Structure 1
């Protein structure tokens, strides 16, 4: 009788190939994820810097803190800007900086 189907060896070879493909792709995905978070943080810093410049143009002075930008309507009043990687963004005398760690309210 000529039964059709896969042998155990063929199934093991397929599983081996799939396992190797997973081992190759997973580290690449995580590497790109951290790169995406870094780029997102850079973009957020540039956005806050542009809001600092807008504040300075309209008010003729630099904002002392993030809270001034929030109360003036330049940034979301509900929450301080936080990078995708968890770093918090702060403004001190018009200078935007990024600090590692969790969000610190000002």
Structure 2
């Protein structure tokens, strides 16, 4: 049998160096991804508040009164699952029809 002496391939040291580089890149990238998640949730909440504001205006034009969140759900302007922001904040409608998000109470 012939012995294979000059075969090209990766050594164990080369593989460990590649794994080290990949793990360092992941260690740098993962914290940035988690920071962006909070930013995405905040932007999603602002967009949701604007959408609910539009539904409040539509309700006000048809019913001639300022609705509560429950009115929007029962009349079909919002789905029952759409009463809070993606980040967990609740939606509040003021007496003048302005929609805002209210931070959810902290669970202890």
TM-score (norm 1): 0.80
Divergent runs of 4+, >6 A: none
Runs (5+) with no aligned partner, structure 1: none
The CA distance in 1 between the partners of 2:13 and 2:29, in whole Å, is: 25
Q: After superposing the two structures, state which structure 1 stretch, 3-12 or 31-40, moved more.
A: 3-12
Task: State the alpha-carbon separation in 1 of the partners of residues 91 and 78 from structure 2.
Answer: 12
Q: Which has the larger radius of gyration?
A: 2
Number of residue pairs matched by the alignment: 100
Q: Give 1:50's aligned residue.
A: 54
The alignment status of 1:8 with 2:12, answered yes or no, reads yes
Which residue, out of 26, 30, 33, partners 2:37? 33
5+ residue gaps in structure 2?
A: none
**In 2, are the aligned partners of 1:66 and 1:80 still within 8 Å (CA)?**
no
TM-score normalised by L of structure 2: 0.79
- Partner residue in 2 for 1:84: 86
Backbone CA RMSD of aligned residues: 1.8
